[in-house]
Amino acid sequence: MYQQFYQRFLKANQGKQHYSCHSHYFWPDVTRDAMLAYWDDSAKWVDDKWSHFFKDVVPCVQRHISHTLGTDYPEQIVFAPNTHEFVFRILSCLDLAATQTIVTTDSEFHSFNRQINRLDEMDNIEVVRVPTQPFATFNERFINAIQQCKPNLVFFSQVFFNSGYSVQNIDTIVEAVKDEDTLIVIDGYHAFMAQPVDISAIQQRVFYLAGGYKYAQSGEGVCFAHVPPNTTLRPVYTGWYAEFGALEKRKDSNVQYSDDGMRFGGATMDFSGLYRMRSVFELLLSEGISVGDIHAHVKSIQHAFLFALDKLNHHLVNRDALLVKSLKQSGHFLTFSMPDDDITARLAAFLKEHGVLTDYRGDRLRFGFALYHNADEIDLTCLSNFKEG
């Protein structure tokens, strides 16, 4: 239905079924024009391009993101090449010389997980990792951990990368954090531009991280954070962008921070990703496609996919192997639990040989769905020829 936006990628991948869009979404053709516009602007304005970026491009993309998240503060959106930069910048607000407690889950993406594992080697850092499974009791167990541990930082994903489980009622988790000094970070990468997100009720309290590589269809190098307004945090890991715009008035230090989201800014970065992201927002707007429409389309494809699997009756890839049973609680990819890592890797390679592109994490096989999928193009018959032994 929406395939016309992706002509170049669809042409380049003819005969393939691309179920790894939850990692790398095809780029709509407008992003190619955006790259050319970036080049042209750089050639035209040379060093003066930066004022154009900060006066026009940044505020425009900030407005689109803020609207998508339901926030009232576009100026609180700040950009970086990856979410890891924000993760470490936020961590650098903690007093790492004192005892610090972090409550998180056992299913955070490597950018946070590896970093926190490294910090956990320090005697004064205590990391509490709440298992995400069983999903039905996740909120209750996570909230209990928050209440018991009185953490300095709470970090969790809105949709977990290793299962696709979409946390229900994130507001109630945030409301359970009573200490105003506790930092709260939501990794929204698998939710942003996939499912409708509304952080209006918690916008004063949370950092919300996401980026362009997945459902925002804009590629790498364009990640962002919503920074809670009026924060006085002073990240130790700071770059010169953090001093842009209006500065807070502080006499006891010559390191000044911006009053808005830029206080979590870094340093010189490639802005072509913002051009691409802007072009995607504008495309969707001009076509009248909302995140709700994208979500509804993907859910209908997921139903069709499971229906096709039911007909196939495969002993490995079937509804019983689904980690998240209800499509109402899953993100835009479905995760199937396989007997072991080896079978999963071989099955993914076999599917790839047969033009079915998936990805996997350990013993979990993931199938992602996008705007460019059509129900009548789903064909999984090759699965029947997979030899396990």
Q: Which residues bind ligand PLP (CB under 6 A)?
A: 82-84, 109, 111, 157, 161, 187, 189-190, 211, 223
Q: Shortest gap between Cβ of 334 and ligand PLP (angstroms)?
A: 15
65: burial class by Cβ within 10 Å (0-12, 13-18, 19+)?
buried
* Residue 210 or 383 with smaller CB distance to ligand PLP: 210
Q: Shortest gap between Cβ of 326 and ligand PLP (angstroms)?
A: 20
Q: Centre a 10 Å sphere on the Cβ of residue 54 and count the other Cβ atoms it contains.
A: 15
* Residue 41 or 85 with smaller CB distance to ligand PLP: 85
Q: Shortest gap between Cβ of 387 and ligand PLP (angstroms)?
A: 31
Q: Shortest gap between Cβ of 350 and ligand PLP (angstroms)?
A: 24
Buried/exposed code over 326-347 (b: 16+ C-beta within 10 A; e: otherwise) = ebeebbbbbbbebeeeebbeeb
Q: Edge to edge, what strands does the sheet with 364-368 contain?
A: 333-337, 364-368, 359-361
Q: Shortest gap between Cβ of 223 and ligand PLP (angstroms)?
A: 5
Q: What are the angstrom distances between the C-alpha of 284 and each of 28, 69, 216, 290, 339?
A: 10, 16, 10, 7, 40
* Residue 77 or 383 with smaller CB distance to ligand PLP: 77
Dihedral angle sign, alpha carbons of residues 133, 138, 140, 141: positive
Parallel, antiparallel or unpaired: strands 100-105 and 153-157: parallel
* Residue 219 or 380 with smaller CB distance to ligand PLP: 219
- H or E element at residue 184: strand 183-187
Q: Centre a 10 Å sphere on the Cβ of residue 76 and count the other Cβ atoms it contains.
A: 26
Q: Shortest gap between Cβ of 190 and ligand PLP (angstroms)?
A: 5
* Residue 41 or 187 with smaller CB distance to ligand PLP: 187
* Residue 339 or 362 with smaller CB distance to ligand PLP: 362
